[in-house]
Amino acid sequence: MTNNTGGQTAIELLGLHSPAFQLKSGTEQLKSSEHFFSRTSQRTDDIVRASHGCSPQLLKYISETVTRANITLETGGGWSTCVFAACAKKHICVNPDITANDLIRSFLQEHSVGIGELVFINDTSDMALPVLDKSCQIDFALIDGNHSYPIPILDWHYIDLHLKAGGIVLIDDTQIKSVGVLCDFLSTEESYNKITEIGTTAVYKKIADDRVWGWSDQMINKAKNQFLRRIFR
């Protein structure tokens, strides 16, 4: 664990001011933010906002794990963006809510939080990640954007192409089935080890660059095949 005072400062400021970066969904004004951003990025200046910050435990883990030597990336944006920016050498936030991205940067500037390089990609992750510079190498990633199937899986697929061996990926909101299915796969994938769980966030370490390719060789499919053979033998 690192001793990152910048990250701790950011966490304290977030707790004190409770900034509302996300949109408030489930209202007459906005039924679903994921549907709203399903096609493209947009400004959301006139939509009511809410404060849906990551858990203090997750923010603490990021602060204690990420260092100024790291390049980090997340899908979605919010309190975690502030902590990543305060800890990392460079942080890339892929978030289609342009207004939210402006609010996050303004919050950091207003409170004089020392940050590394902070890059906002104002686009949906399924559009932005496939065209991410191939030379970009990531040490730490958080998947916490669009939770609608199959976006979490797509996010991981493209992030994995940039995540270094030894890198960490956090999968948030694992209680949602469309997210949990990604964890089902990673928990059997030979190139990843599950480190821990932080509430509803699963933490995986990438231990090898090569994935297992060939559906019949992947453990998630082997388990299914063995089950079917037991039934029909």
Question: What tens digit of pLDDT does each residue of 75-127 get?
Answer: 999 999 999 999 999 999 999 999 999 999 999 999 999 999 999 999 999 99
| pLDDT tier, 5 (very low <50, low <70, confident <90, very high otherwise) | confident
What was the pLDDT predicted at 231? 43
Task: Using the predicted structure, report yes or no on whether residue 33 has a pLDDT greater than 70.
Answer: yes
User: How confident is residue 212, by pLDDT bands cut at 50, 70 and 90?
Assistant: confident
Would you report the helix, strand and coil content of the chain in percent, each value rounded to 5? 40, 20, 40
Distance of CA 173 to the CA centre of its chain: 10
Higher pLDDT, 112 or 52: 112
For residue 223, what pLDDT band results from cuts at 50, 70 and 90? Answer: low
Look at the block and give the residue holding tokens 């390049």.
71
Q: Under a CB-based contact definition with an 8 Å cutoff, are residues 176 and 150 in contact?
A: no
Q: Which of 16-20, 188-192, 209-213 has the lowest mean pLDDT?
A: 209-213
- Average the pLDDT over 15-30 and give the result: 93
- Residue 194 pLDDT exceeds 80: yes
Listed by start position, the domains of the chain span 5-232
Over residues 203-209, mean pLDDT: 96
Measured in degrees and rounded to the nearest 5, phi and psi for residue 87 equal -110, -35
CATH architecture type of domain 5-232 = 3-Layer(aba) Sandwich (3.40)
SS (H, E, C) 168-204: EEEEECCCCHHHHHHHHHHCCCCCEEEEEEECCEEEE
- Return all residues near 8 (Cβ < 8 A) that are at least 6 apart: 63
